[in-house]
Amino acid sequence: MAEAVRYWDPVPYAGFRRLLSGLDPAARPASVVVRPAGDGRVGVLPGSFNPLTAAHALLAQAPLDRGLVDGVYFLLAVRTVDKEAPEGLTLPDRVWILDEYCRGRPGLGIVLTNRGLYVEEAEALRAGPVPPEKELWFLVGFDKIVQIFDPRYYADREAALRRLFTLSRFYVAPRSGRTGADLAEFLARPENRSFAPYVQYLPLPPEYHDPHLSASAVRQACAAGSVPPGAVPVEVRRFIEATGAFRPPRPTPDGDVVDLYGLRVGLLELIAAGDPPYPPAGTVFRVWEGLTAADPSGRRARELLRAGDLAGLFGLFGVELPPDGQEQSQGGPGEGPPV
């Protein structure tokens, strides 16, 4: 558990939170690189990563291993199509997990965007880390390419798709019983035929097709009490097991509830909303342990957290917040971006 205490470090959480808050969905398409990918031909895997699964990892790694691209970005949008209400992991935590996963894996990087439509994401990438002289390949599943061609997402489908395929190309790795033949049939339809040259089939190993590797299946299994073996990378498993992510709140004898992950997030959000220096991870973890107690002191602590009284909350456990100029938490293995 000593190593897991780093997940209570306010420094990386606040850093990723700041990066995300700087991306305005109402502004022009824009992107921020958290961790650069390789140069040359660039693959981009957009997703909600709630959480990052083994299927995501396979889809990101396959084109790298086959020499189809020289680097792959995991792309997380602050606003996503059809998934406007974020549940489960907070966006800063999703970036945090991605950052831990990419660390030590050459060619993998992370980019954030303020838009959810692929044409807008392509525009944001072309204005940022993937200039026009570089190849840009989105990595998607079959359901996503169907969504991209769906006219209900565009005021002018033909113009939007022409713009999209001027900026980028697509590798499609079907799942859920879909095959390369299904993709070929879909692209052969009259309304899609002119765009078929910009879409290529990407076959993946059998384990990619395991339905237990979907993010929704992982969330359901975690809510039931266990992380499915092999369903997520080890970095994700460690985070989920340490923080209680996706577990339902548990009732207390006095009628209150204890949400392990929610209390951690609430505490880190309250700290990150203020100015540094921030308290060290060990101190924050100690306060979180007090928050999760099913006794009168725990209930009082949760009341103080809901009221936004950070000083009162820390004081309840005999802890003082660091004054200005005092050394703050330094992050360690999960340090945040230089912001």
DSSP secondary structure of 204-234: --GGGG-GGGSHHHHHHHHHTT-PPTTSS-H
- Do residues 143 and 271 share a domain? no
Instruction: Provide CB contacts within 8 A for 102, sequence distance 6+.
Output: 35, 74, 108, 109, 110
Q: Is residue 239 part of a domain?
A: no
- Identify the pLDDT of residue 323: 81
Q: Is residue 284 part of a domain?
A: yes
Q: Alpha-carbon Rg of the chain, whole angstroms?
A: 22
DSSP H or E run through 195: none
- Identify the pLDDT of residue 118: 93
- Do residues 24 and 74 share a domain? yes
What's the domain range around 198?
A: 3-212
What 8-state DSSP symbol labels residue 250?
Answer: E
Q: Given its phi and psi angles, is residue 66 left (phi above 0), alpha (psi -120 to 50 degrees) or beta?
A: alpha
- Do residues 195 and 101 share a domain? yes
The two tokens of residue 56 are: 């995501």
From first to last of its 339 residues, what are the pLDDT tens digits of the chain?
A: 668 899 999 999 999 999 999 999 999 999 999 999 988 999 999 999 999 999 999 999 999 999 999 999 999 999 875 555 457 999 999 999 999 999 989 999 999 999 998 999 999 999 999 999 999 999 999 999 999 999 998 899 999 999 999 999 999 999 878 899 999 999 999 999 999 999 999 999 888 888 888 999 999 999 998 888 899 999 999 999 999 999 999 999 989 999 999 999 999 999 999 999 999 999 999 999 999 999 999 999 999 999 999 999 999 999 988 886 444 554 444 444 433
Q: Is residue 236 part of a domain?
A: no
- Identify the pLDDT of residue 87: 78
- Do residues 284 and 187 share a domain? no
Q: Is residue 69 part of a domain?
A: yes
- Do residues 43 and 134 share a domain? yes
- Do residues 258 and 192 share a domain? no
- Do residues 190 and 131 share a domain? yes
- Identify the pLDDT of residue 327: 44
- In Å, how far are 36, 145, 203, 240, 264 from 187, measured between CA atoms? 33, 10, 16, 39, 46
- Do residues 148 and 253 share a domain? no
Question: CA 255 to CA 242: how far, in whole Å?
Answer: 25
The two tokens of residue 76 are: 């997380």
- Do residues 317 and 189 share a domain? no
- Do residues 205 and 271 share a domain? no
Question: CA 241 to CA 48: how far, in whole Å?
Answer: 20
Taking each helix axis as running N to C, give the angle between helix 157-167 and helix 118-126, from 0 to 180 degrees, rounded to the nearest 10. 40
CATH number of residue 174's parent domain: 3.40.50.620
Question: How many domains in the chain?
Answer: 2
Of 156, 187, 212, which closes a domain? 212
Q: Is residue 199 part of a domain?
A: yes
Of 212, 231, 261, which closes a domain? 212
C-beta separation of 246 from 240 below 8 A: yes
Q: Is residue 126 part of a domain?
A: yes
- Do residues 55 and 169 share a domain? yes
- Identify the pLDDT of residue 338: 36
Q: Is residue 146 part of a domain?
A: yes
What's the one-letter identity of residue 288?
Answer: W
- Identify the pLDDT of residue 228: 84
Q: Is residue 334 part of a domain?
A: no
Reported in sequence order, the residue ranges of 92-184 that DSSP labels E, i.e. its strands, are 108-113, 136-140, 169-172
- Do residues 208 and 261 share a domain? no
- Identify the pLDDT of residue 83: 54
- Identify the pLDDT of residue 88: 94
- Identify the pLDDT of residue 41: 97
Write down the pTM of the prediction.
0.92
- Identify the pLDDT of residue 38: 83
Tally of CB atoms within 10 A around 18: 14
